Structure formats: structure tokens, C-alpha cells
Structure 1
Amino acid sequence: MNEQQIRESLDAHWRASASGDLDAEHDIYDDDVICDYPQSNERIRGRFNLQTLRSRHPGKPSGFEVRRMQGEGNLWITEYTITYEGRAAYTVSIMEFRDGKVVHETQYFSEAFEAPAWRSQWVERMP
């Protein structure tokens, strides 16, 4: 699978994630995928378990926005925001592909925080 095909596959994956189409969202994963959540020290083994876990999430996202997607070869990174119950979760997904499917994904989640006033003279606000 070339990089253009991977990008198209990722675009379809994130569109399906945003729309809540769980079947289409999980087409990108190999049956034996491993998905790691380092912040909670969890590992999900297998596409079935990953899709089942996500289908049982107690709150359906009310917003989903891909901010940036960058990759080369078999390693791709996506920065995106998911909104749950009015709160944004800034997320980074690192996906490793083999034979056109994701075989390993690592996701990091972070909540927004207020910028400290002491550094305001050196920064600008992002849109």
C-alpha cells in the first residue's frame, strides 16, 4: 500500500470515527491489532476487542476534528480533538501499518488547561 492509499484509508477512518460508524471506523485495523493507552496503562488486543470497547463508551462524542495528519511509509500520526460532554480531549494517535492495515496504535489523551499568565509575553493564542 502506498502513502496515498494509506492517507485515503486514514481519511475514511477519521470520517467514520466522527460520524459514529463503528464498522467503517474499524476497517483500518488488522484482526490482531494492538492498541495501547499509555496514560491508563491499558493494552487492547484484537480488532474485535477494540471495536467492542469503543462501542461501549458511555458518552457518544459530540465533536470530532482532525487537526493534522502526517506520515511516511508505515508510520502515521494524527492529532485530533474529541469532545465528550462539552469537554475537549486533545488526542494523538500513532499508527503503524503492515500490508495496508494498522497493526499497532498508541493513543495519548489530554485535557485542555489554562495558559499561565507569566508566559504571555512570549506566546500567541492559537485559533
Structure 2
Amino acid sequence: MKQATIREALNAHWQASAQGDLDAEHAIYAEDVICDYPQSGERIVGRVDLQALRGHHPGKPSGFEVRRIVGAGDLWITEYTISYTGRTAYTVSIMEFRDGKVAHETQYFADAFEAPDWRNQWVRKIP
């Protein structure tokens, strides 16, 4: 699959995610997709279950912003933020494509935290 075609599919996926369009959001996935959430130890198997799980999320996102998408061949990574009820989750999605669809996705979620003062002399604030 061409790089431009995958990037186009990813852009459509993330835009649909931000808009809450579950059908368009999940069109990118293979029927037998595996989605892993390593931090909670959960694995979702199949597009139907993945879409159902996301469709029943009690706290619908109030904000969604893709920071960057990088990838080549069948491996693509998206860094983005999701806002849920006033909290921002910094998220990384690793997608592995097979025959033009996502066959495996791993997602990592992290909460924001205050940087310790002791390292101020070596860091800059991200704009």
C-alpha cells in the first residue's frame, strides 16, 4: 500500500475519532484486528468488539488533537491528546497494517504531570 494512501486513511480515521463518527473511525481496521492496552493488560479482538467498546465509553472525549503521525511501510505511529472531562491524556497509537487495514494496534495513555524543579536548568517548556 502506498504511503500517501495510508496517511490519507489515518487522517480520515483520526478526524472521525475526533468527531465521534464510530463507523468511519473503525473503517480502517481489519475484521480480525487486535488492539492492546498494555497499561491495563487488556486486549480487544475484532473490529466489532473494538467499536462496541469505544461506543460505550462513559466519558466521551471533549477534545482531540493529533500532534504528529510518522511511519513507513506497514508501521505507523500517531501521537495525540484526548481530553476527557477536563483531563488531558497524552496518547500514542502504534498501528501495524496488513493488506491496507490495521491488523494490530497498541495504545499507550499517560496523564500530564508537573515537572520537578530540580531539572529546570536543563529543560525548556514545550510550546
TM range (shorter): over 0.9
Give the equivalent residue in structure 1 for 2:57: 57
**Equivalent position of 1:120 in the other structure:** 120
- Cα deviation per residue 1:2-42 (whole Å; 9 max; x = unaligned)? 11000000000000000000000000000000000000000
RMSD over aligned CA atoms reads 0.3
Matched residue SS, 2:115: coil
Give the distance between the partners of 1:59 and 1:87, measured in 2 at CA.
11
One-letter code aligned to 1:2: K
Provide the C-alpha distance between the structure 2 equivalents of 1:50 and 1:98, rounded to a whole number of angstroms: 17
Using structure 2 for the length normalisation, give the TM-score.
0.99
- The aligned amino acid for 1:112 is A
Work out the CA distance in 1 between the residues paired with 2:5 and 2:35. 22
Alignment correspondent of 1:36? 36
Per the TM alignment, residue 62 of structure 1 is displaced from its structure 2 partner at its CA by 0.4
Instruction: Provide the secondary structure at the position in 1 that maps to 2:126.
Output: coil
Q: CA deviation at 1:98?
A: 0.7
Query: 1:81 deviation in Å?
Result: 0.1
TM-score relative to the length of structure 1: 0.99
Which residue does the alignment assign to 2:97?
Answer: 97
Unaligned runs of 5+ in 1: none
Q: Separation in 2 of the partners of 1:100 and 1:3? A: 10
Partner of 2:74: 74
2:125 partner amino acid: R
1:119 deviates by: 0.2
- % identical equivalent positions: 74
The one-letter code of the counterpart of 2:67 is R
SS of 2:58's equivalent in the other structure is: coil
Q: Which residue of 2 aligns with 1:46?
A: 46
SS of alignment partner, residue 80 of structure 2:
strand
Residue of structure 2 in register with 1:27 after alignment: 27
Q: Which runs of 5+ in 2 are unaligned?
A: none
- Aligned residue-pair number: 127
